[in-house]
Amino acid sequence: MAKFLLIDGSSLMYRAYYALPMLTTSEGLHTNALYGFTMMLIKLLEEEKPDYVAIAFDKKAPTFRHKEFKEYKATRQAMPEELSEQVELLKEVIDGFNIKTLELEGYEADDIIGTVSKMAEEKGMEVIIVTGDRDALQLVSPRVKVKISKKGITQMEEFDEKAVLERYEITPQQFVDLKGLMGDKSDNIPGIPNIGEKTAIKLLKEFGSVENLLENISKLSGKIKETIEANRELAVMSKRLATINRNIPLEIDLEEYRLKEFNYKKLWDLFNKLEFYSLLDSIKKEGEEVIPTVSIRKWEKVDIREVPRLLESAKNVAFYPLIYEGDVKKIAFSFDGTTLYSDVERLEDLRKIFEREDAEFVSHEIKDFLVKLSYKGIECKSKYLDTAIMAYLLNPSESNYDLERVLKKYLKVDVLSHEEVFGKGKDRRRYEEVSEEVMAEYICGRCSHLFELKDKLMAFIEEMDMKKLLLEIEMPLVEVLKSMEVDGFTLDRNVLKELSEKIDERISEILDKIYKEAGYQFNVNSPKQLGEFLFEKLNLPVIKKTKTGYSTDSEVLEQLTAYNDIVSEIIEYRQLTKLKSTYIEGFLSLMDENDRVHSNFKQMVAATGRISSTEPNLQNIPVREEFGRQIRRAFIPRTKDGYIVSADYSQIELRVLAHLSEDEKLIEAFMNNEDIHLRTASEVFKVPPQNVTPEMRRAAKVVNFGIIYGISDYGLAKDLKISRKEAKEYIDNYFEKYKGVKEYIEKVIRFAKENGYVTTIMNRRRYIPEINSRNFTQRSQAERLAMNTPIQGSAADIIKMAMVKVYQEFKRLNLKSRLILQVHDELVVDTYKDELELVKEILKESMENVIKLKVPLVVEIGVGPNWFLAK
C-alpha cells in the first residue's frame, strides 16, 4: 500500500522555533526554526519512507472561519520577526528535498491536509499526518494516522483510532464535538463557558454529538442545563469552526507529490549557507562520495628525519597530526607556501622539530598532540597558536570546534571529514584500509589552510578586543593543562577497595530494609519493579507517569520522602551504587602502572570559560554525602613524605559580583572581612548580626548564590522549602539593601538586549541571541544567563590566570612540586616536604594578586597527606 506523508508546515515551523534556542549564523541570520524543521523532516523521511509527500502552509489572508467569527485566532500574537525571516528560506530547503508545498487563500493548512488526506484515502493509500495541532485527530480513520509533535523537535506521539479512544474516550469523529463544547483557547474558539474537557467527554459519552445533546437538553438539570441552553448557538458555531473542511477547491494531481530524488546540490549549498554542517552527511545519497567532491591532490611525502632540515629556515610553521587510536600515525607541515607530510613511526623523530625555540607554530586542538610528545619527554619550546581555541573564543556556545567545521564556517572551504575517511558504524574503516592518497589529502588539505584560518580568526579576535585573553590566558593555559594531564593524580588502591567494601555493606543493609518493607525481593534498579513496589505495594501517591509506567526519577523520590522513610533509603541506595560504579570502580579501571589517573582537561566546552574534566571527571566527585567525601582520601602525593596542598578562593563569585556591581554594602563587607552570609541574613531578615540564627545564615547563603544565578521566587521557595510569598519577600529585601546589585543586573540585561552578548572582566564574550525572544521562557532563561555569565565567566578568567601564574612560578624556580588539578575555585598541588612552605607562599601570593579588584581576593590553604585532609 502506497504511503502519503502530509506535514503541517506552519505548525512544525512554530514548534521548531519555540523548541530550540535562538540559533544564528556567523552573519547573524536566525536559523533555529530552519534547523529544527529540517531535523524533523529528515527523521520523518527516514522513519516513514513515504511514497508521496506534501507540506501545507497557512496563508496570511483571512480564512472562511475569520469571516464567520471575527475573533477567531484573535488572541494569537503576530509572527516573531526572528521567525518571519526564516519562512522563505524554509521553503527553499523544502524545495531542495524536491517536496512540493501547498497553500490556498481563504483556507488553513488543516483544511489542505484534510482535503488531500481524503483524496489519498479514496485512492487506497495509507496516510500519515504530522502536526502540532490536535484538531487533526478528527481526521484519524482506518487508513489515516496522526503524529503529534511533543516536547522538543523529534518526539512524536502517534494516534490511530484505538489510541484516540484510549486517550480521550471518544472517537476521532467526535473530536469536533469536543471542541464545540469545551472550545479551544489557542484558536480562540469559545465553546460553552465553564465546560472543560472532562465534562465535555462525559456529555459526549452519553449523547454522542453536540446536535444530539442539544436535542436532548431536557434530560439535563441544574446549572449545566442552564449554561448549555444559554449557549446553544455558541456550541454549534464552535463545532463548525473546529471542523476541518475536507472538500476545499484544491485542484491537484496526487502523482505530482510522489517523492523524488533530492536536489543534493541545492541542499548542500543551502546547508553550507545556513551553517548546518552537522546535517551535510544526512543528505548524501547512499554510497555517494563527498558532495561537492574534494579533489585528491598529489602531496609530497618526505622522510620524517628530513623534516628538521627542511624547516630549518622557516619561522612560521603550521602542522596537523593524524592521531588514530591514541597513536600519532602521520603529520603534515605547511611553511613558506609548501605543504608536505610524513609517516611517524617514532615520536622521538619529532624532537628536533618541536624543541627549537625560534619558531611560531599554528595547529588545531594542539593539546592532545603536546600530551603525546610530553609522555616521550619532548616539550614544545616555541610559541604556538591553536585555531580551535580561537574559534571557541569567538563563539563559546558551539557544540564542537572540529577543523572541518571551522574551515567551512570562516573560510568556506571543504576538506575531507573524519567520517568520510574512516567511515562510521558498520562501514567504519581501519587506518590500514584507507589509501595513502586519501590519507595525505585528509591531513595536508587541512594543514594547508591553517595560516589563512589563523589570520582570519585573529582579525575577529582583535576586533572583539580578546587578543589579551587569547595570548595571556588561553594559550599559556594549554601548557598548564597538558602538564596536569601528563603528571596525573596518584591514588591509593587500598583506600578505594576498603571504601568499596564499606559501601557494599551499607548497600546490603539498605536492600535488607527495602525487602523487609516489601515482603519480597525485587530488582531495585528496575524502574518498573520499583514503581510497582512504591505505588502498588505501598500505595504512595503517583507523582508522574512515563510512557512505560510510573516515574521513579530523583525528583519524584524526593517528593515521596514525606510519605515513607523507606524512600530515603532508596535514594541513598542509588547514590551509593552510582558512587561505586562511576567513581571507585571507574578510578580503579583508569589507574596506570604508577597508580595515577590522567584526566583529560578541556578548555573549549563551557560557554562561561570554565575548564571541564573527563576520563575520569575529577570535578564532580560528590562531596555532600560522607562516602563521597571519603573518596578524596584515596588521592595522595606521589611520594611517601609528600603533601597535597589545596588552595581555594573564598567566595570568589560574590567578590566578583561586588566588583562588577560596585555595591557599597557588599564592598564594605568584604573590605572589613565580614561573614558575608551573616551580613546578608542580618539585612534580609532585618535583625542585628548577633541575633542571626544558623538557619537564617543558611537561607541567606542560598539567597546570595541564588542572586548570581538569577533565582526566582519559585526556585528559592523550592530550595528553602518555604512559600513563594516568603521567597519573594527575601529577594525584595535583598535588593532593597543591595541596591547596587539590582542596578547592575538591570544594566547587564539591558546591555545584552542591545548588543546580543555579555562580557567578563577579561572581555570573554558570550552571545545570548534568545535575550530578545518573544517567548517568555526563552527570554527569562537568557536573562539569567546574561546575569550569571559575567560573574561565573570572570571567576573562570581569574582561576585560569592563577593557574598560569602558579605554573610559571613553579617552572621559574625549577620546583619538583606539580599543579595537578583545578576544581571550580580550587587548585590542588602535589608537593614535597622541603618545598611545602614555598609552595603555600606561591599559591597565596599568585592567586590573591593575579588581578586587582575593588575587593580583596582571599585564598584559604589546606595541607594534608591526602586530598580529604587537605580540605
235: nearest Cα among 199, 285, 284: 199
- Among 43-57, 259-273, 787-801, the range scoring the smallest mean pLDDT is 259-273
Is the confidence at residue 155, as pLDDT, over 90?
no
The pLDDT of residue 726: 87
Percentage of residues of the chain with pLDDT beyond 70:
97
C-alpha cell at 626: 560522607
- Confidence grade of residue 773 (pLDDT, cut at 50, 70, 90): confident
The pLDDT of residue 437: 92
Q: Which residues pair with 636 in a beta bridge?
A: 490
Residue 680 CA to residue 71 CA, distance in Å, equals 52
The pLDDT of residue 76: 67
Identify the residue with better confidence: 845 or 290: 845
- Confidence grade of residue 289 (pLDDT, cut at 50, 70, 90): very low
In contact, 683 and 665? CB cutoff 8 Å: yes
Instruction: State pLDDT tens for residues 533-547.
Output: 999 999 999 888 777
In contact, 847 and 802? CB cutoff 8 Å: yes
The pLDDT of residue 293: 47
Is the confidence at residue 70, as pLDDT, over 70?
yes
The pLDDT of residue 286: 42
Taking domain 653-793, whether its CATH number is 1.10.150.20 is answered by: yes
- The amino acid occupying position 40 is M
- Among 21-25, 155-159, 295-299, 446-450, the range scoring the smallest mean pLDDT is 295-299
- Among 204-208, 435-439, 619-623, 780-784, the range scoring the smallest mean pLDDT is 204-208
Residue 412 CA to residue 726 CA, distance in Å, equals 55
Residue 240 CA to residue 248 CA, distance in Å, equals 15
Instruction: State pLDDT tens for residues 485-514.
Output: 999 999 999 999 999 999 999 999 999 999
Burial of residue 533 (CB within 10 Å: 0-12, 13-18, 19+) is: buried
- Confidence grade of residue 592 (pLDDT, cut at 50, 70, 90): very high
Show Cβ contacts of residue 666 under 8 Å, excluding neighbours closer than 6 positions: 654, 657, 658, 676, 738, 740, 741, 855
Average pLDDT of the residues in 237-254: 86
Instruction: State pLDDT tens for residues 350-372.
Output: 999 999 999 999 999 999 999 99
In contact, 180 and 236? CB cutoff 8 Å: yes
102: nearest Cα among 58, 136, 139: 58
Handedness of CA 190, 195, 198, 200 (dihedral sign): negative
Average pLDDT of the residues in 821-826: 95
Identify the residue with better confidence: 173 or 76: 173
Measure CA 497 to chain center: 35
Taking CA 542 as the corner, what is the angle to CA 541 and CA 545, rounded to the nearest 5 degrees? 175
The pLDDT of residue 45: 92
What's the CATH fold of domain 1-167+246-276?
A: Rossmann fold (3.40.50)
Looking at every residue in the chain, the average pLDDT score rounds to 90
The pLDDT of residue 863: 98
Homologous superfamily of 294-463: Ribonuclease H-like superfamily/Ribonuclease H (3.30.420.10)
Is the confidence at residue 588, as pLDDT, over 50?
yes
Rounded to a whole number, what is the distance in angstroms from the first to the last CA of the chain?
69
The pLDDT of residue 290: 41
Residue 406 CA to residue 399 CA, distance in Å, equals 12
Distances (CA, A) of 68 to 61, 62, 186: 14, 11, 17
The pLDDT of residue 195: 79
Average pLDDT of the residues in 837-862: 97
Percentage of residues of the chain with pLDDT beyond 90:
62
Domain boundaries, the chain: 1-167+246-276, 170-243, 294-463, 493-594, 653-793
Is the confidence at residue 132, as pLDDT, over 80?
yes
Is the confidence at residue 292, as pLDDT, over 60?
no
C-alpha cell at 338: 609548501
In contact, 56 and 244? CB cutoff 8 Å: no
- Confidence grade of residue 144 (pLDDT, cut at 50, 70, 90): very high
In contact, 404 and 411? CB cutoff 8 Å: no
Is the confidence at residue 105, as pLDDT, over 70?
yes
**What kind of architecture, by CATH, is found in domain 493-594?**
Up-down Bundle (1.20)
CATH code for the part of the protein at 170-243: 1.10.150.20
Phi first, then psi, for residue 751 (nearest 5°) are -60, -45
617 dihedral zone (left: phi>0; alpha: psi -120 to 50; beta): beta
Instruction: State pLDDT tens for residues 18-59.
Output: 888 788 887 778 899 999 999 999 989 989 999 999 999 988
Is the confidence at residue 373, as pLDDT, over 50?
yes
b or e along 115-145 (b: 16 or more beta carbons within 10 Å of the residue's beta carbon)? Answer: bbbbbbbeeebbbbbbbbbbbbbbbbbebbb
The pLDDT of residue 53: 96
Identify the residue with better confidence: 687 or 241: 687
Instruction: State pLDDT tens for residues 627-665.
Output: 989 999 999 999 999 999 999 999 999 999 999 999 999
Burial of residue 212 (CB within 10 Å: 0-12, 13-18, 19+) is: middle
Is the confidence at residue 86, as pLDDT, over 80?
yes
Q: Examine domains 493-594 and 653-793 and report if their fold is the same.
A: no
Instruction: State pLDDT tens for residues 377-402.
Output: 999 999 999 999 999 999 998 888 99
Handedness of CA 608, 611, 616, 619 (dihedral sign): negative
Identify the residue with better confidence: 215 or 529: 529
- Confidence grade of residue 831 (pLDDT, cut at 50, 70, 90): very high
387: nearest Cα among 440, 320, 315: 320
Identify the residue with better confidence: 276 or 54: 54
Instruction: State pLDDT tens for residues 702-761.
Output: 998 888 888 888 888 888 888 889 889 889 989 998 999 999 999 999 999 999 999 999
The pLDDT of residue 533: 93
Residue 855 CA to residue 655 CA, distance in Å, equals 7
Residue 471 CA to residue 640 CA, distance in Å, equals 38
Is the confidence at residue 291, as pLDDT, over 70?
no
Is the confidence at residue 68, as pLDDT, over 80?
no
